[in-house]
Amino acid sequence: MSHTLPRTPCSIVPPHLLMRLAARQDARFAVAADAARRALRELDPLRQAREESLRAPVRRPSAVVGTLTRRIHDAGGREVLPGALVRGEGGAATGDPSADEAYDGLGSTYRLFSEEYGRSSIDGAGMDLAATVHYGTAYDNAFWDGERMVFGDGDGEIFGRFTASLTVIGHELTHGVTQYSTNLEYQGQSGALNESLSDVFGVLVEQRALGQDAAAASWLVGAGLFTAAVQGVALRSLAAPGTAYDDDVLGRDPQPATMADYVETASDNGGVHINSGIPNHAFYLAATALGGRAWEGAGRIWYDAVLGGSIPTDCDFPTFAAATTAAAGARFGATGREAGAVADAWSAVGVLP
């Protein structure tokens, strides 16, 4: 059955970027400004819909790894879901970059959680993975709607197609993992943790697909989304929050790296896309301190913490820091270098003393 309103408004482009772009009055970025205004108009109903779609937390690891099953639909420029089916599991490439990138990205994300963490798809129970491409006209976002991934094509002036970044696909699908595990409230520090988990596993999906260790990785979320007109490399940087872009049109990346620069704001559900820079940087510090393949070290620890059952839906940063430190001790030993690296990382960003 088709529907027009996404039920979980976890989108990749933060409101502060859309607001900045929507305020432009010059003709050079007229298409992008109009696209941003249309994207902003959807945010409030999306938030309201999300409150109606919260699912009960599931805090247990999956017992059986299922079979990867993907379905890619094409909305054809309409804002109606799911659209026409264009590629099913095992089907030949379509020749449409958006459809084929979505297909491959769903597979890379599935394989990270399945092959590394033993999770049977996003919900832990073998859920089929679905995506819709070419959503809307010049649509400046990508989102997880509680059932599927949805990708816009971008406005062509500031943003290109949203399937072009594997970290975006991994990020949005991880919102589904969070939905079926901790179900972190999308507000304040718990909301920032919700966003951070998606950034963390989004970069791990890309690192694993590229065979990169922690030292070689870019640690960028959304690299490849911006057009050449933008002075910036990505939406966010885990290695150096606050440096992903510095542009006349979009402004400067506002993410803090430590609690000393924590942003108190009523917008964006309490700054969930901004303050996520703090737990993001803690993960980066832990992962690079441990070295090697981050999805096997720090990623394994973060995943254990998420599935451990000790994280409440209103979890704050210190509670999550304690959970990851405990998870490192449980898996690698309380006196091991892993637990020390995690505790040191949270201390470095000012969350733990």
Taking only the tens place, the pLDDT of each residue in 233-242 is: 999 999 999 9
Q: Does residue 59 register a pLDDT over 90?
A: no
172 is catalytic: yes
Q: Does residue 30 register a pLDDT over 70?
A: yes
Catalytic annotation, pick one of 134, 273, 281, 338: 273
- The arithmetic mean of pLDDT across residues 66-75, rounded, is 94
Identify whether 18 is part of a domain.
no
Q: Does residue 122 register a pLDDT over 50?
A: yes
- The arithmetic mean of pLDDT across residues 65-73, rounded, is 88
Sequence length of the chain is 353
Identify whether 67 is part of a domain.
no
Range of the domain at 253: 188-348
What does the pLDDT look like over 77-118, one tens digit per residue? Answer: 999 999 999 999 999 999 999 999 999 999 999 999 999 999
Cα–Cα distance, 102 to 241 (Å, whole number): 27
Identify whether 342 is part of a domain.
yes
Say if residues 169 and 106 touch (Cβ distance below 8 Å). yes
Nearest to residue 8, comparing CAs of 191, 214, 138? Answer: 191
Name the band, by pLDDT with cuts 50, 70 and 90, for residue 27: confident
Q: Please give the pLDDT value at position 43.
A: 67
- The arithmetic mean of pLDDT across residues 5-23, rounded, is 75
Identify whether 298 is part of a domain.
yes
Nearest to residue 229, comparing CAs of 318, 160, 326? Answer: 160
Q: Does residue 44 register a pLDDT over 90?
A: no
Catalytic annotation, pick one of 172, 185, 195, 206: 172
What CATH number did the domain enclosing 328 receive? 1.10.390.10
Say if residues 38 and 261 touch (Cβ distance below 8 Å). no
Cα–Cα distance, 220 to 311 (Å, whole number): 26
**Cβ within 8 Å of residue 107, ≥6 positions away:** 68, 70
Beta bridge partners of 116: none
Identify whether 105 is part of a domain.
no
Q: How many domains in the chain?
A: 1
What does the pLDDT look like over 266-300, one tens digit per residue? Answer: 999 999 999 999 999 999 999 999 999 999 999 99
First to last CA, the chain: 51
**Cβ within 8 Å of residue 255, ≥6 positions away:** 236, 237, 241, 242, 244, 274, 275, 276, 277, 280
